[in-house]
Structure 1
Amino acid sequence: MGNKALDINPPNATYHLSTHGSDWLWAAFSIFGVALLGVVGWAFSRPRGTRLFHQIAIVVLTTGSLAYFSMASDLGWTPVEVEFRGEGTRQIWYVRYINWFIAFPLLLLELLLATGLPLSDIFTTLFMSIVLVISGLVAALVPSTYKWGYYVFGAGALFYIWNVLLWHGPRTTFAAGGAIRSGYRIASAYLSLLLLLYPIAWACSEGGNVISVTSEMIWYGILDVLAGPVFLVFFLWELRAADYNAFGLQSGKYTDKSGYVSNNQAGAPATKAAAAGDV
């Protein structure tokens, strides 16, 4: 399948994707696609009001599937002059950064909503994940040594994210219980380790031109599969028996509030679904 994709969409950069790299990307796309279908079915098997974390996962997996379909088809890139180790241009895959721009904040949101962190801290952490991705994209597109300045900005944002995940998050009050705290510690350590490996991969590929584009795809692909389908399935499994009412994730819809008041005025008990909303 890789041969056909590269024949239809031939690369015009000096350092470019090989047919074996395209084959691997099709395999990663299949993993994302299967995981997406599984989570969609899982979400609809749950009662309304307990699907928020599953719906976040659906968005992440859908975005990842689109990105890997594009990269496997040799689309979504632009040639940029290399700084080190040779001359010519290298394929820079901006579609990957579009995927990360959506996926990284949502992965953090998925994790941090289970903690007792205030919304202001969660918002700032999500913003730092956007700084991390944008810094990487701009750095990859800059052909001169100034790219490493953006790399430092991204590293600073990453240290902030680690501080929240590994220090502040575990020390909050977990309203959903100790089991969620234990699952959070494992998930946050796992995600933090993966976030450490992304900048190393960037320095060896887009930054330093040390490894080939195909090796870059294999490295990033493994990280994305571990941070996407594997992480999300594990985290959702840990939440399978959690009491969603304990998270306090009411939708805040006016219709829900109206229904809640009407039922009380009529003397009927308020239902859990009305209290929790449709999140």
Structure 2
Amino acid sequence: MIVDVFEEVLKKTSLLPLPTATPTHVSPIPPIREDKPDFQYIGDSGKKTLWVVFVLMILASAGFTALSWRVPLSKRLYHTITTTITIFAALSYFAMATGHGISVQTITVRHQNDHVPDTFTTVHRQVFWARYVDWSLTTPLLILDLGLLAGMSGGHIIMAIIADLIMILTGLFAALGEEGTPQKWGWYTIACIAYIFVIWHLALNGGANATAKGPKLRTFFVSIAGYTLLLWTAYPIVWGLADGSRKIGVDGEVIAYAILDVLAKGVFGAWLLITHAKLPESDVELNGFWSNGLNREGAVRLGEDDGA
């Protein structure tokens, strides 16, 4: 009985029309992109650049040392500072060329889609923190060179150096900062503000003191200080394109910084020492401990009575 009823229902429903698809206005769903890690590491051209700059800094250090032998010890202050700058730079580039002083920053980049869930890409980019160690040592010495050349006061030189160190360290914090957070670009902003203070001290105080030392020295100071500040202005631009927004690759970053370092340290040092030798107004002659060491008259005598 039940079977007969079931067959009768099938005969009646089989005569009904089948449902057809109705047109819709929904756009096709875009395909979901695969989340592949992006490894941004240094390549062959970047590695070769690091080795080339290491050799150039060694040659510059040797050349500056040879120039220092042509003057008495009391007049070697610029030579000592400038040679130290290129030695620190050579050590930094040797570290980076041999794979040291480098860390890998992991960045998660979010891709927003209209009709499907957002996708993410993990970026692994090398950060050369040895470069920041180099800058924290060499840029204060560059400021010291310029400050002594202009005849700036010790107080103004120290304040310029402190602002410079703040600029370098906050730049490092920004480079290692987490992507998509305000802290990253906040550190970068602080670095730029600190750099303005460096410019202010060198341009205002340095320029005024250089003018007091004569027109020849003022012309030289304005030229070499303007040259230095122009190069230093390019560093945060490269940072913004490299570590900041990753618009250029690691090789491009290495090559850009290498060119700036050679110009700001090697060429700067050669220009300073060669012109200094022809410009008596730039002399900073040191005697006392610098040239002669400690004498017996300044030593503390132990075992003697106060009344002796």
TM-score normalized by the length of structure 1: 0.82
Identity %: 28
Say whether the 8 Å CA contact 1:77–1:92 is kept in structure 2.
yes
- With over 3 angstroms needed to count, the CA separation of the structure-2 counterparts of 1:257 and 1:29, relative to structure 1, is closer
Which of residues 210, 217, 234 in structure 2 aligns to 1:197?
234
Q: Could you tell me how far 1:258 is from its partner in structure 2?
A: 5.8
- With over 3 angstroms needed to count, the CA separation of the structure-2 counterparts of 1:253 and 1:72, relative to structure 1, is closer
Letter in 1 for 2:269: L
- With over 3 angstroms needed to count, the CA separation of the structure-2 counterparts of 1:242 and 1:254, relative to structure 1, is closer
Residues 1:48 and 2:48 are matched in the alignment = no
Unaligned runs of 5+ in 2: 1-37, 111-120, 299-308
Per residue, is there more helix in 1 or in 2?
Answer: 1
Distance in 2 (alpha carbons) for counterparts of 1:172 and 1:64: 29
Residues 1:134 and 2:169 are matched in the alignment = yes
Residues 1:27 and 2:60 are matched in the alignment = no
Say whether the 8 Å CA contact 2:92–2:130 is kept in structure 1.
yes
Q: How many residues align?
A: 250
Distance in 2 (alpha carbons) for counterparts of 1:248 and 1:158: 30
Residues 1:109 and 2:149 are matched in the alignment = no
Say whether the 8 Å CA contact 1:101–1:134 is kept in structure 2.
yes
Partner of 1:215: 252
Partner of 2:6: none
Which of residues 205, 211, 233 in structure 2 aligns to 1:168?
205
Say whether the 8 Å CA contact 1:116–1:174 is kept in structure 2.
no
Which of residues 89, 106, 109 in structure 2 aligns to 1:81?
106
Q: Could you tell me how far 1:46 is from its partner in structure 2?
A: 1.5
Residues 1:224 and 2:261 are matched in the alignment = yes
- With over 3 angstroms needed to count, the CA separation of the structure-2 counterparts of 1:50 and 1:175, relative to structure 1, is farther
Q: Could you tell me how far 1:179 is from its partner in structure 2?
A: 2.1
- With over 3 angstroms needed to count, the CA separation of the structure-2 counterparts of 1:151 and 1:212, relative to structure 1, is same
Q: Could you tell me how far 1:247 is from its partner in structure 2?
A: 3.6
Distance in 1 (alpha carbons) for counterparts of 2:225 and 2:291: 35
Distance in 2 (alpha carbons) for counterparts of 1:192 and 1:96: 19
Say whether the 8 Å CA contact 1:116–1:172 is kept in structure 2.
yes
Distance in 2 (alpha carbons) for counterparts of 1:84 and 1:120: 45
- With over 3 angstroms needed to count, the CA separation of the structure-2 counterparts of 1:160 and 1:90, relative to structure 1, is same
Partner of 2:115: none
Specify the SS of the correspondent of 2:261. Answer: helix
Note the aligned Cα RMSD (angstroms).
Answer: 2.6
TM-score normalized by the length of structure 2: 0.75
| Structure of greater Rg | 2
Partner of 2:33: none
Which of residues 111, 129, 141 in structure 2 aligns to 1:94?
129
